[in-house]
Structure 1
């Protein structure tokens, strides 16, 4: 017998994920625990619900509550007022019945959902190019349609990145360089788990054979490579969290830095990168005064980019994380945005991020009234 939770007047937020035959539901449980604790401390009722158990035509749903001993218990809960979408994988979200359910939620008169969909990398750059303001931060990016795209791009930019359109955490990224004075002028560096492997080729056709072998028919983007600022020979970029605040305005929650591993071509921590403090890294390269100006521009750019993405997507979003790079000249570049940010490890950013989830939820619930 599943116990029933009565609605005691508190605002209700449900964390949406997928069911799992082995573990009842999918997702980062520690993250869910921290979200639930933060919500509870702020006066919210919070539980986890799977897409399968979310029955919108019923006044109640079966949700997972967190007990005092950190165990999970399924109970009958009142229908949520806000759904915080944390479906973890693109392939889950792409399932027709999951997409139908999200559409149903979006049409529901008494429920708000934020972060309805994952972003597609190619679409992000198309959206940014629709605004003169945000266009300047986007590197030249094209869809890779075959050998000809690579040939055209490498003539324009001798340093390129190849990125999977639906990639995650740096998987499948490759770096290509053309150095005409070398005997084997074409080089491709392929990202492995924490290292990378470099192949050299005499001709672009030879290089393309390798690219074709690696991409195996997946959709890829070709992007202008940016010579990022470096400290001790390791490049770094900035990871920014933007969220809507209590008045539904985009605001920067925090700025972190990620430094590439010694043999890695990306700054992702699972691939050997490290978490750094931008306030300490940037002055080493640019000095303190220039650092202050750069960080001020980063914060303004992140808010403009978030607004532009939301406007162009036609969907309501509550948060996104972004990767922005600073090149060796101090110029700002946009690389990536995620509609379902991974948790930030910096304690102050993490604390504020959890509070903002519920500040914005509170705003949505008040609008419903």
Structure 2
């Protein structure tokens, strides 16, 4: 295999940090090692420095003295690690001019993903009961005693709230206060919801879901992050999974909100008997593959996702959400360094596959 360029598309802030090796949770060394396995040379791009008219781009490429900025022919295969909605004019323009960009669109609304999965007879039973917005909230409060409210386009747990029924129309509203930097509990009535709560639900689209009675470790609920990627050969594969355990007293498992990353087998064996734990782990992997394969039919160029899958205390599986730009560092935090590296290798294998075989 001869060496060829593969593009890694970053957002502007991360791209600026490349020459100083300051790219947050994105590992440049992992990209270099993973690309080398497949005879590829990674070049780090930003969208506004790709000239679709000339076919050339400015990019950072590693040399002996570090990363330097160079003008190169735009790579024919690019892995998108920035965030773009389907209405991005810049991404649409890039795609019209020929490069194969996988995971080109990677910011999908939770409502959009839920709607796609509802169309699958196989997968809809894994979805929690769901409604939208303020009108949906009132209906859900009449059906379920414990609710999770999530902004349709939120990430890393931002804006997530909870409503818990106490008695005869009285509820507790739990939300994170950015001002005080801690969780706040407020008593509310179903007949007189606070203006602040109603404002949240009408200012941006919100998903309202029954709260899944997740399995717990020491009274701390957890779910599993399942990384599903296409690699060499173009087929979906499970790269790995780890458990995200909520902070003590918390109800969101996001690591960015104080959650803890654990090896999935360790978490499952703490919550379930050994044989059951092993069976559940296999079932979670099977569900992750089924979800990715179904979503691929409705989401163009999907190739790299992180799926959150919950397990109720009775062992029932639930799909929670899809992350179009998987934050892979949880593997490292869970002590799974080799799996963390695999999460970089697999997309580079897919890039090589596309270079040699074109569209699958």
Q: TM-score, normalised by structure 1?
A: 0.87
Counterpart of 2:125?
136
CA distance in structure 2 between the partners assigned to 1:133 and 1:272 by the alignment: 34
Counterpart of 1:191?
176
Counterpart of 1:5?
none
130, 152, 167: which one aligns with 1:165 = 152
Gaps of 5+ in 2: none
Instruction: Check the 8 A contact 1:196/1:265 in 2, yes or no.
Output: no
Counterpart of 2:348?
358
Q: Does residue 100 of structure 2 align to residue 105 of structure 1?
A: no
> Shift of the alpha carbon at 1:211?
1.2
CA distance in structure 2 between the partners assigned to 1:227 and 1:207 by the alignment: 25
Root-mean-square deviation over aligned CA pairs:
2.5
> Structure 1 pair 281/127, CA: closer, same or farther in 2 (3 Å)?
same
> Shift of the alpha carbon at 1:49?
1.2
Q: Does residue 271 of structure 2 align to residue 285 of structure 1?
A: yes
Instruction: Check the 8 A contact 2:49/2:57 in 1, yes or no.
Output: yes
Q: Does residue 60 of structure 2 align to residue 64 of structure 1?
A: yes
| 1:316-355 pair list within 5 angstroms | 316-344=301-329, 345=332, 346-355=336-345
284, 290, 304: which one aligns with 1:298 = 284
Residues 169-196 of structure 1 show CA distances to partners (whole Å, capped at 9, x for unaligned) of: 0001001111226xx8211111347742
29, 35, 52: which one aligns with 2:31 = 35
CA distance in structure 1 between the partners assigned to 2:8 and 2:228 by the alignment: 19
Q: Does residue 104 of structure 2 align to residue 116 of structure 1?
A: yes
Residues 261-292 of structure 1 show CA distances to partners (whole Å, capped at 9, x for unaligned) of: 01322011121111112212212322011111
Residues 139-187 of structure 1 show CA distances to partners (whole Å, capped at 9, x for unaligned) of: 111211x2x3222111111211100111010001001111226xx8211
> Structure 1 pair 278/125, CA: closer, same or farther in 2 (3 Å)?
same
Instruction: Check the 8 A contact 1:186/1:207 in 2, yes or no.
Output: no
The total of aligned residue pairs comes to 348
> Shift of the alpha carbon at 1:31?
2.4
| 1:260-275 pair list within 5 angstroms | 260-275=246-261
5, 10, 34: which one aligns with 1:17 = 10
56, 62, 70: which one aligns with 1:75 = 70
CA distance in structure 1 between the partners assigned to 2:217 and 2:17 by the alignment: 45
> Structure 1 pair 256/28, CA: closer, same or farther in 2 (3 Å)?
same
CA distance in structure 1 between the partners assigned to 2:275 and 2:15 by the alignment: 54
Counterpart of 1:3?
none
> Structure 1 pair 29/305, CA: closer, same or farther in 2 (3 Å)?
closer
Which protein has greater RCO, CA pairs closer than 8 Å, 6+ apart?
2
Instruction: Check the 8 A contact 1:174/1:190 in 2, yes or no.
Output: yes
142, 163, 168: which one aligns with 1:155 = 142
> Shift of the alpha carbon at 1:207?
3.2
190, 200, 206: which one aligns with 2:187 = 200
Counterpart of 2:208?
222
CA distance in structure 1 between the partners assigned to 2:342 and 2:15 by the alignment: 33
User: More displaced, 231-240 or 190-199?
Assistant: 190-199
Instruction: Check the 8 A contact 2:17/2:23 in 1, yes or no.
Output: no
> Shift of the alpha carbon at 1:350?
0.9
> Structure 1 pair 18/256, CA: closer, same or farther in 2 (3 Å)?
closer
